[in-house]
Chains A and B, each alone.
Chain A
């Protein structure tokens, strides 16, 4: 995992931290397409025995970035619907504002434990906490 990126690109191709791979594309397409029974957003977790994580991994259609949770910051992330604002504060990350219609990602509140995920399907953005001690491989819920 790459680490130590404390600033997320604000917009445009020139600010990509790296070019998207086929795996990024696969994940994002799959997030949009796969639905079972009732649709639901997963406030996911696949890491950390609910121990605080060290980083968030932010994925968009344009690529992904790893951002430290240890430094308070505001990050503007662009998706197909527009800019979303991710706030990092006191070791937690939250979706402060997003251009999606239902604002479910905003309602998910802050995440801090390894594996927890904020997912904004309309704007194709996922924010997942990674790292930390005693990491879990998944959480069954």
Chain B
């Protein structure tokens, strides 16, 4: 049995329907558990209680990037193998990714205010996330602007491909651009780097939670899109009959 069989809408609906309650339950458990555990950790001797926002910030940032990569993979599958579910999964993932990017940016700003004394800093990492958010916005806007679903799937797929290349290019161009302005590394706290186990394990749990949360949202949203398509097709048949 090949993995492509799950691209069959009927099969996808059946399997995802059976998976959904478990995914949702474990997503809620892991996210809530990770954040609660994170809140209960001792305060950092330098950063105080503000450090606890890391349990929202880092998982959201991680998912923001991973969701775009997932959309790229799904777009490629649609463009090459023409599996309709794949195109819809890319569409369904985009708003989740945009929100994750937004969460990363907002929590970063809230964290940065007491730490750096400013809400916003044109640090390469922050700037890259702002650019990523712009790409999400363009992608979502293009999906909603095109009426014909086939064209929409094709054109957003092409945009995702080209956008990925330029998002990556921008990431490195931004590093170049920031040289000479200030050193970036001292401002950002790399995940896992010199972080004590007290913080690390709740962070891992929270990251797992965010991943499961994305999976749950992706399944729900893809199922909704599939149902919407089915409805549109049935209505079209009705009109013709």
Instruction: Tell me if chain B binds chain A.
Output: no
